[in-house]
Amino acid sequence: MRQTVPSYPYFRYLISRPIFFCPATSSESMDLRNEASFLQYVQAAIDNNKLVLPTLPEVALNVRQAVNRDNASDAELARIISHDPALSTRLLQVANSPLYRARQQIENIQTAITRMGHGAIRTLITSLAIQQIFTPKLLMLRKYFQSIWRHSVNVSAVSRALAVRYAHLDKEQAMLAGLIHQIGKLPILTLAEKFPELAEDQAVLDRLLENLHPTIGKMIMETWDMPPALARVAWEYRDLQRESGPAVDYVDVVQVAYIESEIRSNPALASTVAAMPVFRKLGLDADIEVLEIEGMADEIQETEQIFL
């Protein structure tokens, strides 16, 4: 039996068709507890500038643009990053963390850039910036933000550790892929902060988060203009029968990390692992947890320490 995230063809239709009502007032006549209505409202709110999808901080965008030009100097990147004191401080902390094993203390941003390289800095700044997005406004939703963030960090850490095994994958990109795989849950929580009937009904909110975040995640990835290899993680990672060809990609490593995380909370899922193409593709034994692979546990712990 095929195990996959529901495809929601009706939702894809809603995303592509024009919607001609003002979401500021139409919510009164819509049942936002209904998945189709909720997604329709989200799309209409975006179209009418009533709902802003999560955006990366300006510094992260500027760093990405500068690195993509291929002619940015270390000094130029350092100046851009220094405009955000909080990100600058976090970058230095990470550069000196056990994960990156600096031989000598790195005391300034330019030295960190020189040591780590432009590509790694670009990805790391984006990853650190994403942490800033997970900030709840309502106390009652704090547990959701914290739970999603902790889960994303764990998946990110396992994804990074797995990517080291494959020369064509970039471990920092794999780490970022893990952080964004459930990014589609944030706009749902944003609306739950606005509508008490959602925030106060845990069963409904849990269902909306679980079922709609891949579709909304795709919207965010398109807004962020993420590279396709990373972007599709947000809506493909739960297709447990996914076949993507012989080469391991970022969706594959995130999917394994996600499944490992789910098994820890629901051990009964372990019996289904052997049937999943991704485990055969990565050559992983269904009876062996990723944490049991030599060297993995330390690598995962060091990555988690960056974000938790």
Residue 90 is predicted with a pLDDT of 93
Q: Taking all residues of the chain, what is their mean pLDDT, rounded to a whole number?
A: 84
Residue 146 three-state SS: helix
Residue 26 is predicted with a pLDDT of 52
Between CA 247 and CA 174 the distance in angstroms is 15
Q: Which residues of 17-56 are buried (b: 16+ CB within 10 A; e: fewer)?
A: eebeeebeebbeebebbebebbbbbbbbbbeeeebebbeb
Between CA 30 and CA 132 the distance in angstroms is 32
Mark out the alpha helices in the chain (DSSP H runs).
Answer: 9-16, 23-26, 35-47, 58-68, 74-82, 85-95, 109-116, 118-133, 142-163, 171-180, 185-194, 196-199, 202-224, 228-231, 233-236, 250-265, 277-281, 296-307
Compute the C-alpha angle 251/186/258, nearest 5°: 30
The answer to whether residue 108 scores a pLDDT higher than 80 is yes
The answer to whether residue 23 scores a pLDDT higher than 70 is no
Nearest one of 210, 184, 185 to 262, comparing CA atoms: 210
DSSP character for 182? Answer: T
Q: Read out DSSP for 215-246?
A: HHHHHHHHHHT--HHHHTHHHHTT-TT----S
pTM of the model: 0.85
Distance of CA 199 to the CA centre of its chain: 22
Q: What is the pLDDT of residues 147-164, one digit of tens each?
A: 999 999 999 999 999 999
Q: What is the pLDDT of residues 52-97, one digit of tens each?
A: 788 888 999 999 999 998 889 999 999 999 999 999 999 999 999 9
Residue 139 is predicted with a pLDDT of 78
Q: What is the pLDDT of residues 261-300, one digit of tens each?
A: 888 888 888 788 878 899 889 888 766 667 667 778 888 9
Residue 76 is predicted with a pLDDT of 96
Q: What is the pLDDT of residues 159-218, one digit of tens each?
A: 999 999 999 999 999 999 999 999 999 989 988 888 888 888 899 999 999 999 999 999
The answer to whether residue 11 scores a pLDDT higher than 80 is no
